[in-house]
């Protein structure tokens, strides 16, 4: 349970709270697809929070509004246009939060009236928080972003020493389901030979990839040694999570959010 946030039975069905020793006031977690408060239908049922996957726009808007109310968010989340890159957007100086989504794959803030969020359906969502509870970030780490340094960009966005950060790895496609080819494997091995431990040989020319291990390695190398979470699988936990690998282009998206509440 996230520190300082009492979970009702309804909230437990709504989202998976980040299981990390966050300081008082830091709240975060990942939504569950089957929350009864969601209104999406068909392959997006129920709590799809993405507006770019073919779902009815009115349903997505209703889901987003219900999320704000159910979690008593201090402000609407700042939704991003994610591009599998490494840009981490600071929300602190933004005024027009209702304008077009900014292209970025992470957001950070030190303000209590901002909510950082990323959308995923197999990619790895990562939350960061400073140990003093005054700064948080949400990062979207697909394999491309992970290989190119989105986690390191998130750590650099924090103005303090990296050892004063802690991280939570939200639900992503698990190592028994995420099959990759040689170019993906080589992208990580070139950067760090230790990444070889995250790949298990499968059918010829393909490997099963452990995103959780790769992310943990990179965070530790960047100075963030307190890494929590991991162990869920979006592809195999059908009732809990959306999965692009499992369901294809009509898959919905979960939201992983983090914000600064009352201390």
Among 4-18, 114-128, 171-185, 219-233, the least confident range: 4-18
> Which is more confident, 9 or 142?
142
- Predicted pLDDT at 9: 46
- Predicted pLDDT at 48: 98
Residue 67 has pLDDT above 60, yes or no: yes
pLDDT bin (cut points 50, 70, 90) of residue 95 is: confident
Residue 109 has pLDDT above 50, yes or no: yes
Mean pLDDT of 167-181: 98
> Which is more confident, 56 or 250?
56
Mean pLDDT of 254-259: 98
Residue 8 has pLDDT above 50, yes or no: no
CA dist., res. 89 & res. 109, Å (int):
9
- Predicted pLDDT at 223: 98
**H or E, element range at 13:** helix 9-14
CATH architecture of the region 9-171+227-260: 4-Layer Sandwich (3.60)
- Predicted pLDDT at 262: 77
3-state secondary structure of 208: strand
Residue 98 has pLDDT above 80, yes or no: no
Among 56-70, 196-210, 225-239, 249-263, the least confident range: 249-263
Residue 224 has pLDDT above 70, yes or no: yes
How does DSSP assign 80-102, residue by residue?
-B--SS---EE-TT---TTSSPP
Instruction: Write the CA distances from 117 to 17, 107, 180, 187, 213, integer angstroms.
Output: 14, 7, 27, 27, 22
Residue 2 has pLDDT above 60, yes or no: no
CA dist., res. 2 & res. 28, Å (int):
7
The structural domains of the chain, with segments of one domain joined by +, span: 9-171+227-260
CA dist., res. 165 & res. 244, Å (int):
30
Residue 122 has pLDDT above 50, yes or no: yes
pLDDT bin (cut points 50, 70, 90) of residue 208 is: very high
Residue 181 has pLDDT above 60, yes or no: yes
């Amino acid at each position: 349970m996230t520190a300082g946030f009492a979970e009702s039975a309804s909230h437990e069905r709504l989202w998976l709270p980040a299981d990390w020793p966050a300081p008082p006031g830091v709240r975060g977690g990942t939504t569950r697809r089957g929350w009864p408060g969601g209104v999406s239908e068909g392959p997006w049922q129920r709590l799809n929070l993405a507006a770019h996957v073919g779902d009815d726009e009115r349903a997505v808007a209703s889901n987003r509004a219900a999320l704000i109310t159910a979690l008593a968010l201090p402000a609407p989340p700042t939704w991003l246009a994610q591009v599998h890159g490494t840009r981490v957007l600071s929300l602190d100086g933004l005024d027009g939060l209702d304008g077009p989504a900014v292209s970025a794959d992470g957001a950070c803030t030190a303000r209590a009236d901002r909510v950082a969020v990323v959308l995923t359906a197999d990619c790895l969502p990562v939350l960061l928080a400073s140990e003093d509870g005054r700064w948080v970030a949400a990062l979207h780490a697909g394999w491309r972003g992970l290989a190119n340094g989105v986690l390191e960009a998130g750590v650099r966005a924090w103005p303090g020493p990296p050892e004063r950060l802690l991280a939570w790895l939200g639900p992503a496609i698990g190592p028994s389901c995420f099959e990759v080819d040689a170019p993906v494997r080589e992208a990580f091995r070139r950067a760090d030979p230790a990444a070889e431990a995250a790949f298990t040989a499968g059918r010829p020319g393909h490997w099963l990839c452990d995103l959780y291990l790769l992310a943990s390695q990179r965070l530790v190398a960047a100075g963030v040694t307190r890494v929590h979470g991991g162990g869920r699988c979006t592809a195999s936990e059908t009732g809990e999570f959306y999965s692009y690998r499992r369901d294809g282009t009509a898959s919905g998206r979960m939201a992983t959010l983090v914000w600064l509440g009352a201390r």
